[in-house]
């Protein structure tokens, strides 16, 4: 029997997190995130929803066969095609789980699934039984559990357990519950299923209560929490991994539970997910925001200088927050580069390393020294582009100023073909993006544009994340450069490349979302 005081951390960044609008990770990025989650020691990684598309299937398969440590899970509706596809994708894993689900609330049954209660119960029985034929580790989720009639919900869970489910998940799919209600619901479910079945929470953040509700679940007997790094996910997102991790760590005695996370990896995991998804972390976000450990008031600064505990309840070193060290310059070689990456926990395959090194050299020639944060940003831009690269930016020329109309000319390469085009715009960034659009022959609408600097100072690398709408689909791109116009152009082209890659069928079929 497993330790009753341990809360399992089930990470759904790659599945529910990746469903957030505009996020479309490449396979390499997904594998990189999964490897980082393994370093963080999460108990379960939900790698994706294999039936939703070929790209998604391949990514789950790659993660299952290469990432060691955590249980690898995949999502499936309670239908044979989904469950068989999930099993196929997962079978290379050391330990794996099928996570199967169906909606149970009246509103979903009536207006979405058009199914009766009896049909749902039959679906659960058959689906869970089929999954158990592939693996003993089967989780069942009742989608929209918090708006489901209680007796029917308990009946669904009873049927799932009887068919062999070992984890029962109680999702607050629409983020509607309040902590006292959700806690009560989890307690009722806990009391109605056998002790060896693990009760899980899956809380969405529509009312900003995902973490509070998950905590209420833990207090009332849940021993698995479904979370996403930086709280990303559908709409307002999911319960944030780092917040629940640090609540359980900091208030372990009061809660009477613990987890097995390797907390030193929290900060790096948050950074990696933010960089690859293009979802930046708000500065005042608990635990991982850039201001989470910054003290502005003189009184606070004075207190912290003599004893950190006067105003800090957590040690930033515990979550792996070490300063921003200068690490490399233009004379650094490939070895030093690989070494510096290894020190911040990044290991790349030879091909990715070569490309990232070439990019590093290009930037180091234009910037005197690069910090560990710069390196992480370069790698993330490179990983994002390697798979999606349909067009490569060969050169960019821009002109403009207070009295000149901004113009830009670009040269792109697609295989052997070189394409040149130019455009005018409202500003130099606008002109550069217009020229790229013309050269690539893609109609794109800019949805969001976010520019920040990787570190401080006027010589900082500019870090640009754009979200475009291409053929009705939102895609994100990221670009890093010493020059903000070039960073914007790179981000714009990365997003276009990603859209083309998805259109070519090498991406998630986001139309089939749970
Ligand atoms: O929010 C939800 O209900 C889900 C399920 C598929 C678990 O994501
Ligand atoms: Zn969800």
Nearest Cα neighbor of 276 from 22, 8, 103 is 22
CA torsion sign for 125, 210, 466, 443 is: positive
Asked if residue 52 has its Cβ within 6 Å of ligand 1, the reply is: no
Mutational test site, ligand 1, from 101, 138, 157, max ligand atoms within 8 Å of CB: 101
Mutational test site, ligand 1, from 44, 148, 202, max ligand atoms within 8 Å of CB: 202
Asked if residue 173 has its Cβ within 6 Å of ligand 1, the reply is: yes
- 3-state secondary structure at position 466: strand
User: How many CA atoms within 13 Å lie on the side-chain side of 436?
Assistant: 31
pLDDT of residue 368: 65
How far away, in angstroms, is 12 Cα from ligand 1 center?
Answer: 10
The b-or-e profile of 229-264 (16+ CB within 10 A means b, else e) is bbbbbbebbbbbbbbbbbbbbeeeeebebebebebb
What's CA 166's distance to the chain center, in Å? Answer: 26
- 3-state secondary structure at position 259: coil
> pLDDT, tens digit, for every residue of 120-156?
999 999 999 999 999 999 999 999 999 999 999 999 9
Per the prediction, the chain carries an average pLDDT of: 90
How far away, in angstroms, is 296 Cα from ligand 2 center?
Answer: 37
pLDDT of residue 335: 87
Residue minimizing CA distance to atom 5 of ligand 1: 143
CA torsion sign for 77, 80, 85, 87 is: positive
- 3-state secondary structure at position 296: coil
Q: Which atom of ligand 1 is nearest to the CA of 19?
A: 8
Q: Which ligand is nearest to the CA of 103?
A: 1
Which residues, 6+ apart, have CB-to-CB distance to 462 below 8 Å? 451, 452, 453, 454, 480, 481, 482, 483, 484, 487, 488
pLDDT of residue 501: 80
pLDDT of residue 386: 61
Asked if residue 175 has its Cβ within 6 Å of ligand 1, the reply is: no
Distance (Å, whole) CA 365 – CA 203:
47
Q: Which residues of the chain have pLDDT under 50?
A: 509-510
pLDDT of residue 179: 98
pLDDT of residue 381: 79
> pLDDT, tens digit, for every residue of 242-266?
999 999 999 999 999 999 999 999 9
Asked if residue 332 has its Cβ within 6 Å of ligand 1, the reply is: no
How many Cβ atoms from other residues are within 10 Å of residue 376's Cβ?
20
pLDDT of residue 240: 98
- 3-state secondary structure at position 316: helix
> Where do the domains of the chain lie, and which CATH numbers do they carry?
8-277 (3.20.20.70), 392-503 (3.30.160.270)
Nearest Cα neighbor of 227 from 244, 246, 207, 252 is 244
CB-count burial class (<10 Å; 0-12, 13-18, 19+) for 360? buried
Mutational test site, ligand 1, from 15, 143, 168, 233, max ligand atoms within 8 Å of CB: 143
Nearest Cα neighbor of 62 from 13, 132, 14 is 14
Q: What percent of the chain has pLDDT over 70?
A: 94
- 3-state secondary structure at position 128: helix
Q: Which atom of ligand 1 is nearest to the CA of 143?
A: 3
DSSP state of 282: P
Nearest Cα neighbor of 343 from 410, 264, 287 is 264
Nearest Cα neighbor of 413 from 437, 432, 440 is 440
Q: Report pTM.
A: 0.81
């Amino acid at each position: 029997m497993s330790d009753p005081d341990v809360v399992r951390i089930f990470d759904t960044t790659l599945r529910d997190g990746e469903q957030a609008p505009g996020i479309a990770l490449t396979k390499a990025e997904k594998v990189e995130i999964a490897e980082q989650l393994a370093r963080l020691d999460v108990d379960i990684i939900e790698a994706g929803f294999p039936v939703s598309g070929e790209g998604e299937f391949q990514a789950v398969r790659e993660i299952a066969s290469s990432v060691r440590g955590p249980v690898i899970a995949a999502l499936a509706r309670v239908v044979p095609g989904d469950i068989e596809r999930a099993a196929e994708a997962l079978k290379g894993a050391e330990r794996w789980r099928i996570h199967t689900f169906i909606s149970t609330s009246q509103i979903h049954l009536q207006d979405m699934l058009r199914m009766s209660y009896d049909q749902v119960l039959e679906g659960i029985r058959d689906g869970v039984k089929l999954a158990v034929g592939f693996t003993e580790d089967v989780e069942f989720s009742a989608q929209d559990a918090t708006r489901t009639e209680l007796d029917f919900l308990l009946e669904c869970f009873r049927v799932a357990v009887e068919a062999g489910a070992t984890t029962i998940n109680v999702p607050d799919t629409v983020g509607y519950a309040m902590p006292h209600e959700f806690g009560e619901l989890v307690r009722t479910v806990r009391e109605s299923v056998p002790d060896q079945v693990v009760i899980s929470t899956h809380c969405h953040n529509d009312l900003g209560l995902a973490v509070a509700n998950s905590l209420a679940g833990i207090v009332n007997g849940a021993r698995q929490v479904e979370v996403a790094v930086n709280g990303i996910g559908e709409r307002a997102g999911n319960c944030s991994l780092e917040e629940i991790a640090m609540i359980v760590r900091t208030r372990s005695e009061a809660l009477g539970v613990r987890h097995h996370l390797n907390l030193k990896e929290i900060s790096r995991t948050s950074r990696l997910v933010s960089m690859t998804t293009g979802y930046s972390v708000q500065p005042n976000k608990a635990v991982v925001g850039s201001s989470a450990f910054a003290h502005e008031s003189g009184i606070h600064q004075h207190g912290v200088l003599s004893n950190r505990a006067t105003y800090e309840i957590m040690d930033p070193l515990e979550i792996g927050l070490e300063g921003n060290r200068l690490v490399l310059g233009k004379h650094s070689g490939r070895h030093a580069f690989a070494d510096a990456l290894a020190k911040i926990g990044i290991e790349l395959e030879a091909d990715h390393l070569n490309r990232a090194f070439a990019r590093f050299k290009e930037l180091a020639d234009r910037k005197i020294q690069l910090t560990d944060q710069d390196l992480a940003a370069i790698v993330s831009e490179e990983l994002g582009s390697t798979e999606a690269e349909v067009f490569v930016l060969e050169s960019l020329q821009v002109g403009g100023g207070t009295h000149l109309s901004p113009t830009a000319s670009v040269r792109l390469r697609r295989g052997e073909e070189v394409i040149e085009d130019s455009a005018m715009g409202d500003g130099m960034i606008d002109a550069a993006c217009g020229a790229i659009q013309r050269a690539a022959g893609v109609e794109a609408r800019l949805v969001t544009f976010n520019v920040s600097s990787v570190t401080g100072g006027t010589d900082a690398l500019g870090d640009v994340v754009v979200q475009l709408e291409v053929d009705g689909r939102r895609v994100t791109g990221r670009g890093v450069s010493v020059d903000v116009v070039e960073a914007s152009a790179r981000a714009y082209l990365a997003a276009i490349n990603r859209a083309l890659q998805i259109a070519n069928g090498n991406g998630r079929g986001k139309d089939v979302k749970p």
